[in-house]
Structure formats: C-alpha cells, structure tokens
Amino acid sequence: MTRPQAVLFDCDGVVVDSEGMTFDLFLKDLAAHGLPLTPEAFEADFVGGTVEMVARRARAAGADLPEDWVARFYDRMYAMMAAGVPLIPGVVALLDRLEAAGVPCAVGSNGSMRKMRITLGQHGLTGRFRAVLSGQEIGAPKPAPDVYLRAAAACGADPKACVVIEDSASGAQAGLAAGMRVLGYAGHGPDTVTARQLTALGVPLFHRMADLPDLLGL
C-alpha cells in the first residue's frame, strides 16, 4: 500500500496493555452491584466506550450503581494503573520505525486525558505523538469520527491518507466514518468477540505489531 501520511492509534489495548486489568475491575465491580457478566458478554456489549457509557448500559441491564459510581470507579482505575501498566509488545519498536520513516503519529482514545497521562507517561511515550486526544473530553466519543479527524489535523495529514490502528468496533467505526483506512489489532487472535466484530466491519486484522510496517508500506 501507499505509505500513509499519518498513523493514528487508539490507546488502551493498542499502545498500552491495560484492557485486561480494566475488564477485571469492571467485572468485579458490576457483579458486586448486581450485574454478573461473563468476560465475553462484557466484551460484546461494553468495550470501546467510556466509563459513563458503561454505567448507563449497566443500569439499564439492572445494575444498582450508586450515583457517584463513575467518579469512584475512575479513582480506583487510576490508582491501579499508576501502579504499572505494560505496553503492547513491539509498540516501541513500531514507533521507532515510524519516526525513522518520517511518518507522524497521534493517539485518539475514548479514555480520559488523566488516564493517558498515567499510562503513556509512565513509559515516557507522550512526547512520541503529535497529539494525544480524548474523544470524551472533546465531547464526541467514538464511534463519532471527531477524535480521529482532530488527530489527523494535528499531524498535518489528509484524513483519507491516514491509517487508524484499533482494537474495538466503536473505534473502527470512528476511523471508517472519518474516511480513513482502519487496521484491527487482534493480539489475542481472530476468535475473540472484538476481533469478530472488527471482521464484520470489513476491517483487516493483524496480530503482532511487528507485522504492521509491511502493512503500512514502510
């Protein structure tokens, strides 16, 4: 393929390997408030949104969440992540390859800016991106395309010449709505709920960050 003008990354599950620990926290907390879910059910119905979205859907499904649940959940999540979040294997080498090729990159996430300052900051990665943007904090979380359109602008790139790296259906929908090519990172294989959702959207999957340079024409 033609080398992209910019590569735009989701954060959780694509740059930092934070989703497993966050899923566990959600599952335990929702079960404690009357909504036991399997990991597969949570992945199918709740992944890719914001904590506020999880609260709305959980209440609609019968969870008895206190009024301050969102704020309290954020506090627990931030403390957990501050204790250490690993990176997705191979992502630093990928960023090095993009930099050497002169291809700018940015992050567009539904996570809060505070969360990304914690997760990216503990690895010294924030400065590797032209911009780190939060869809919820600009008032248009994914699947709205706004966060990726702003990320493309920060890189000085035509949206149609950008590639988005995503691991969730809502994120992929945001990239597609922005007119961008989307590649789906499926580090746990093609048979997870989210991998199947990406495939249903027509998004090609890859399974290792080391495979991405060839897919990007680098």
Residue 62: count of CB within 10 angstroms of its CB: 9
What is the pLDDT at residue 21?
Answer: 87
Q: What is the mean pLDDT of residues 128-143?
A: 95
User: Is the pLDDT score of 184 beyond 90?
Assistant: yes
What is the pLDDT at residue 43?
Answer: 78
Q: In sequence order, which residues have a C-beta less than 8 Å from that of residue 60 and are 6 or more positions away?
A: none
What is the pLDDT at residue 26?
Answer: 87
- 19-82 folds as DNA polymerase; domain 1 (1.10.150)
CATH 2.60.120.260 correct for 6-18+86-215:
no
* Residue 13 near residue 89, CB atoms below 8 Å: no
pLDDT classification of 40: cutoffs 50, 70, 90: confident
User: Is the pLDDT score of 88 beyond 80?
Assistant: yes
Domain spans of the chain, in order of start: 6-18+86-215, 19-82
Q: Rounded to whole angstroms, how far apart are CA atoms 169 and 143?
A: 8
What is the pLDDT at residue 96?
Answer: 97
pLDDT classification of 41: cutoffs 50, 70, 90: confident
What is the pLDDT at residue 135?
Answer: 95
Q: What is the mean pLDDT of the chain?
A: 93
Q: Rounded to whole angstroms, how far apart are CA atoms 161 and 163?
A: 7
Q: What is the mean pLDDT of residues 168-190?
A: 94
| pTM over 0.85, yes/no | yes
User: Is the pLDDT score of 47 beyond 80?
Assistant: no
User: Is the pLDDT score of 150 beyond 90?
Assistant: yes
- What stretch of H or E contains 133? strand 132-134
The percentage of residues in the chain with a pLDDT greater than 90, rounded to a whole number, is 78
What is the pLDDT at residue 204?
Answer: 96
pLDDT classification of 46: cutoffs 50, 70, 90: confident
What is the pLDDT at residue 39?
Answer: 84
Q: What is the mean pLDDT of residues 175-200?
A: 93
What is the pLDDT at residue 48?
Answer: 67
